[in-house]
Structure 1
Amino acid sequence: MKLTRNIIIGLVLGILVGIILNAFLPDLFDPIDTYLFDPVGKIFLNLIKMLVVPIVFFSIVVGTMGISDPKKLGRMGAKTITFFLVTTTVAISIAMALAFIVKPGVEGAISNTGGQEFKAEEAPPVIDTLLNIIPTNPVASLVEGNMLQIIAFAIFIGLALAMLGDRTKGLANLFEQANDVMMYLVRIVMLTAPFGAFALIASAVGGQGKEALASLAMYFVVVLAALLIHALVTYSTAVAFLGKVNPLTFFKKFSPAMAVAFSTSSSSGTLPVSMKTAQERLGISKQVSSFVQPLGATINMDGTAIMQGVATVFIAQITGTDLSFTQIITVVVTATVASVGTAGVPGVGLIMLAMVLKQVGLPLEPIGLILAVDRLLDMTRTAVNITGDAACALFVNRSEADRAAAQE
């Protein structure tokens, strides 16, 4: 909560300073922006860019190792993974559809995105995108930052490590330790977020005035609306028809865990509370809860996928880029697959967003502006993420109970 408070303080101060410079001291804005706002904002953006490739690679390998553990494969694993992948695809589809309808980004409203000109690149055909997922040179993919290829290579390594078991235990431990290092660096980078938020929002508001605030406010509203629609429609439908429980009862009983998730912004940190709540208040067996919910904390990031979908469309709109059908499909596929490796810690969603933007050729600079409101949204989407884990656990628990009853 201390980091949340500091980011909000940075956001508010940045808005105030930007408004003052824009309205009363316009002559001072350029030198202050050149020697203070712009350098601080670029340092923060470079810190985020620095982590994109390694965190995607290591987290996907570690996530795949866990999913592909032969002991965990089977009936429950298939149901769980299918549920998560379907709901994540639905989540990002809702997000992008809403963003295209509402159009939160106005071209030119936020033109100060790091002083770099941007020209949209022509997207390759869908079939080429699918064929190019398999890298011919994985090292080149890592150097070039080709995210779909990096994800594919990481999945292959994770599968191999899982199947080889004890023979590659040392290497598996090395990947887990490298992933821990990346997670630690994310936390370190997020400590600079209040300064980044201040500099980037002050630069945007100081340079463009109230139009920048209006666009950011619309982005915030669209993401929040998509999160609520997904929770109230998608999860309620799953709970009612698959879990055979009244959705109102489900949300009421699971609300304590949602409150903790909202306050911590960490799916992993909330895991003990969410498991206890699911077992004691929702009646989910310990066996199912212990399997589904920890797995969900690793691969079920519907809230993060929603943010990535809206943010991608938003950034395309403010840069005047028309996303092609191929690029839209690429965003859906990339964000869905990337959610498998998104760690449940605060701030990592921004790293994943950088990956999605890079994959469709959009600039990364506006990420810093999105950060201004992202922490508040992060709290909401974490609550959505763990609710999806519990909904899945309820479904698996019900289907396993029905199967056992039928066998008797």
Structure 2
Amino acid sequence: MDTTTTKRGLPLHWMMLIGFIVGLAGGMAVNLLIGPETAWVVWLTENVTGPAGQIFLRLLFMLVIPLLFSALVVGVAEMGDLKSLGRAGIKTLLLTIVVSGIAVVIGLAMVNIFRPGDGVDPELAARLLAQGAEGANAIVGNAPESVQFGQFFLDLIPSNVFTAAAENQILPVMIFALFFGVGLVMAKSRATDQLQTTIEGILEVTMKLINTVIKLAPYAIACLMFNLAALFGWDLLVRLAAYVGVAVGAMAIHMFVVYPLVVWLAGGMNPIKFFRGVREPMVVAFSTASSNASLPVSLRAADEQLGLPRKIARFVLTVGATANQNGTALFEGVTVLFLAQFFNIELSFTQQIIVMLVCILGGVGTAGVPAGSLPVVAMILVMVGVPAEGIGLILGVDRFLDMCRTTLNVTGDLVLATVVSRGETDASVPADLEEPTAPGV
């Protein structure tokens, strides 16, 4: 997340926090002093704050398909020529999938074990669920509660990608985008280079539009939080604190258990030496919450502190800035399951597998803009039948979690570079990859 500012000069994340506090305070006052059943409160939530939050969410849904498609295609295409990359490219791709998968599994396991969303009054949750279901289903339709395992994998391959996009079947569209990106890499020509440039243009336009929509977030957060706080009262604060604790705990396990094991076993490096070498990128990532701002520092640390082959480190870290986002994938999984628990919706094993796959792919296709993971989270919520309005619950604490997950992302890029570099030299990678350009995020 960057430090986008408003016309008043306040950073966007501060405006979002203010919106969160205003909505929370107003909703709590209504819950404690007036009551959510009062006639004017019902009119306000149904005709003002509710529709205002829905407009914000619908704008995000409108941009999900072009965002995910273009980001995934560009992310894969930026890996360069698969044949010339050889071992380095294959290692990068496989490790990205495996380590991101581990991150999501840790997050889902933590939420299932500690269940931070439990404890809310079922009647209140059912009321808000009913309020949000009509608007959510109008956008993406009803999600099936369970499917046969074989049919699930068959449905991943769209027979008609345009039909899948029209019906908001996100996973098949993402699979098509991955294949399309691989096709661009394999069929290198002047025409495909122009096509890639066009898709990059679509990505830039979509990201610009998301930046514009996100500027509405402070007002949407205030409306969404007012509705939630007016209905749930103190239960909201207790559940929110539990959510932050579980999310940070899952990130800590991935950072201080998984990463050291990967560096030691797969990278052949002492974990203590590794973390000493990446202290500066970690500090920059946490303080700025920006992978882009951390990239130059990460490149220097890989060269000077870790002693990795320069060409390989530059390639892996540059690609990893967009495609290897372990922290983002973990955050998305934790958030979806937490909100499902909050609204007393039990997700089946198959639905949690779907969540995991979308989170892994979403980590590759998440835009590097403020609240860039927001469209993916919102879409996954509705895919599994959770009201997207619940996303307002987590936006107020998202800045701190963004700092944590960006640190996890940047450290994961350096872990990936360390593992890929094992047994490789600069001569292993073609000269045209020596000076990669930073991804446009």
TM-score by length of structure 1 reads 0.92
SS of structure 2 residue aligned to 1:335: helix
Residue type of the partner of 1:134? I
Query: Where does residue 291 of structure 1 map in the other structure?
Result: 315
1:402 & 1:25 partners in 2: Cα distance? 69
Of 196, 215, 221, the residue aligned with 1:197 is: 221
Change (3 A) 1:355 1:339: same
CA deviations on 1:154-186 (whole Å, 9 max, x unpaired) are: 122222222222232222111010011111122
The question of whether the paired residues in 2 share the 8 Å contact of 1:52 and 1:354 is answered with no
Residue type of the partner of 1:25? I
Deviation at 1:50, TM superposition (A): 1.4
Of 6, 13, 16, the residue aligned with 1:4 is: 13
The question of whether the paired residues in 2 share the 8 Å contact of 1:113 and 1:365 is answered with no
Query: Where does residue 37 of structure 1 map in the other structure?
Result: 49
1:114 & 1:10 partners in 2: Cα distance? 25
Deviation at 1:136, TM superposition (A): 0.8
Q: How many residues are matched?
A: 404
Query: Where does residue 66 of structure 2 map in the other structure?
Result: 54
Deviation at 1:69, TM superposition (A): 2.8
CA deviations on 1:343-374 (whole Å, 9 max, x unpaired) are: 33331111122333344344323222222222
Change (3 A) 1:42 1:72: farther
1:162 & 1:135 partners in 2: Cα distance? 21
CA deviations on 1:46-91 (whole Å, 9 max, x unpaired) are: 2211111111111111112123533653111111222211111100
TM-score by length of structure 2 reads 0.85
Query: Where does residue 433 of structure 2 map in the other structure?
Result: none
Residue type of the partner of 2:168? G
Of 164, 189, 197, the residue aligned with 2:187 is: 164
2:266 & 2:364 partners in 1: Cα distance? 23
Of 182, 188, 197, the residue aligned with 2:212 is: 188
Unpaired stretches in structure 1, ≥5 consecutive residues: none
Query: Where does residue 237 of structure 1 map in the other structure?
Result: 261
Change (3 A) 1:33 1:358: closer
Residue type of the partner of 1:275? L
Deviation at 1:290, TM superposition (A): 0.8
1:353 & 1:72 partners in 2: Cα distance? 36
Of 401, 417, 425, the residue aligned with 1:377 is: 401
Query: Where does residue 151 of structure 1 map in the other structure?
Result: 174
1:132 & 1:244 partners in 2: Cα distance? 40
Unpaired stretches in structure 2, ≥5 consecutive residues: 4-10, 135-141, 429-441
Residue type of the partner of 2:374? L
Matched, 1:18 2:18: no
2:284 & 2:212 partners in 1: Cα distance? 23
The question of whether the paired residues in 1 share the 8 Å contact of 2:103 and 2:330 is answered with yes
Deviation at 1:120, TM superposition (A): 7.0
The question of whether the paired residues in 2 share the 8 Å contact of 1:303 and 1:382 is answered with yes
Query: Where does residue 115 of structure 1 map in the other structure?
Result: 131
The question of whether the paired residues in 2 share the 8 Å contact of 1:267 and 1:386 is answered with yes
CA deviations on 1:16-55 (whole Å, 9 max, x unpaired) are: 2222222223345334433442232122212211111111
Residue type of the partner of 1:112? L
1:302 & 1:355 partners in 2: Cα distance? 19
1:145 & 1:264 partners in 2: Cα distance? 34
Query: Where does residue 76 of structure 1 map in the other structure?
Result: 88
